[in-house]
Amino acid sequence: MSNHQGALSIARTPDKTPDWVLPAPNGDVPVRDPGRRGAHRTAPQQERAYLVGVDQGTHDGGMTAEESLLELGQLVRTAGGRVVGSSAQHRRHVDPATYVGSGKVEEIVAERKESDYSLVVFDDALSPTQQFNLEKALGVKVLDRSALILDIFASRARTREASLQVELAQHEYLMPRLRGQWEHLDRLDGAIGSRGPGETQLETDRRLIGARIVRLKKQIKQVQQQRALQRNRRQRQGLPVVALVGYTNAGKSSLMRALSGADVLAVDAVFATLDPVTRRVGSGEAEAFLLTDTVGFMQKLPTQLLSAFRATLEELQTADLLLHVIDGTSHAVEAQQRTVEATLAELGLTDTPTLSVVNKIDGLELDGRTVEREEDLAALVALNPLGIDGEVLYTSATTGLGVDALRRRLLYEFFGATSAAAMGASAMAAEEARGA
Ligand SMILES: Nc1nc2c(ncn2[C@@H]2O[C@H](COP(=O)(O)OP(=O)(O)OP(=O)(O)O)[C@@H](O)[C@H]2O)c(=O)[nH]1
Ligand SMILES: [Mg+2]
């Protein structure tokens, strides 16, 4: 974290080992069997992925090409693959035909002797043409970041709502790619007539997918209406609604657990949560609010996905307050914050009051000592190590430090100072720090 000032540091030393030699995460979340058969395998052979990114040099507070490739590696492992190498090319603009330059393409081909990859993954959305050209030049399967994320979402989807939305996103991703194939067939087969077998098959595929998309949209609309009904019922209870938002893996579900005791899935994996969950948090009958946990954000999310997940993300529209959960130990913490802010803006949520919560503070050090005491909370508030504008609270969902203060702060938001005496010292300090 570049702007950590003063006495604060990250306790966990940054991983110097390339992140692709780490094993795939093992948790409650199923990792799919990639299913490739080796000659003498006793266990399923993993896909061997080579990662390629373009470093355009203009980061605008976004991730560096290297950070983005590390994240792509995490996505590959989540999807059940293994990263066997990666490279980034500096160039101002991506090549419209092959994303990277032709020299780089040759390098990647040569790299295969070294790393024996079975798959090349590109760190941005490839156009259908780029994907086709690259597949031809490299002679292996080519995926882009969008396809990878869609694949992970598909493996995570458990409920009807999530499955419908993921399927819609996948089909919308697939549609122009079919057209890409068709253009290619057209070029090759054009001379021998325009109704070749390729085209017929393609027309059929497109018609089927088109019809499926229409049906999916209809079904999603029903889900949306159902959700709206549930929200109405909740609103009639008159309880304020707080929604957890943040970068994937920041600890939203863990905080939900810590605040409400809800038994929600919280594991070290990206996109562990797809479906919104709402629980009541309160100190008594009268003073309570509803807390909603939902899908996490990530940079370069496929556009098809965000629009397909409107039904799920509508839960955020009715929130009275957004809790932006930030992973304080992330090496790309600023870029992650910016991504979340941009996504919220895209969803039209800039007017909803937002409170920042820096989580995982048990992974930070103050004056060379692990953050673990109540008084560290006030010290963090005073230090504002991430330079965040507005009010910031600090929590460790794992150790529970700061969780009570957060709960009190939220109750205070909606029920005022009725329980001011019960407010913790840290919450009061937070109030003072923002000049309240
Ligand atoms: N050390 C530490 N780890 C935490 C803390 N909070 C969460 N984690 C870990 O971070 C990982 C992700 O936590 P989740 O709660 O699943 O994160 P999330 O934001 O819900 O993630 P998605 O649903 O995938 O977007 C898990 O391995 C948690 O155990 C914390 O305060 N300290
Ligand atoms: Mg979660």
CA nearest ligand 1 atom 25, residue: 248
CA–centroid distance, 346 to ligand 2, in Å, is 21
Q: Does ligand 1 come within 6 angstroms of the Cβ of 249?
A: yes
Prediction pTM value = 0.83
Residues linked to residue 50 through DSSP beta bridges, in sequence order:
85, 120
| CA distances from residue 363 to 12, 324, 371, 391 in whole angstroms, order as listed | 6, 18, 7, 21
Give the strand pairing for 119-122 and 369-370.
unpaired
Q: Which ligand 1 atom lies nearest to the CA of residue 269?
A: 24
Atom of ligand 1 nearest to the CA of 396: 31
The neighbour count for residue 299, using CB atoms within 10 Å, is 19
Which CATH superfamily is 239-433 part of? P-loop containing nucleotide triphosphate hydrolases (3.40.50.300)
Chosen CATH of 23-30+46-154 out of 2.40.110.10, 3.40.50.150, 3.40.50.10860, 3.40.50.11060 = 3.40.50.11060
Secondary structure (H, E, C), 274-313: CCCEEEEEECCCCCEEEEEECCCECCCCCHHHHHHCHHHH
Contacts of residue 291, Cβ cutoff 8 Å, sequence gap at least 6:
241, 242, 243, 244, 256, 259, 260, 278, 279, 280, 281
Residue closest via CA to ligand 1's atom 13 equals 251
Instruction: Tell me, using a 6 A CB cutoff, whether residue 397 lines ligand 1.
Output: yes
What pLDDT tens digit does each residue of the chain (436 aa) get? Answer: 344 444 666 654 344 333 332 233 333 333 333 333 333 444 557 899 999 999 988 666 789 999 999 999 999 999 999 999 999 999 989 999 999 999 999 999 999 999 999 999 999 999 999 999 999 999 999 999 999 999 999 998 989 999 999 999 999 998 888 754 444 444 444 444 444 555 567 778 888 899 999 999 999 999 989 888 888 888 778 889 999 999 999 999 999 999 998 778 888 888 999 988 999 998 666 789 999 999 999 999 988 898 889 888 988 998 999 999 999 999 999 999 999 999 999 999 999 999 999 999 999 999 899 999 999 999 999 999 999 999 999 999 999 999 999 999 999 999 886 654 444 444 455 555 554 4
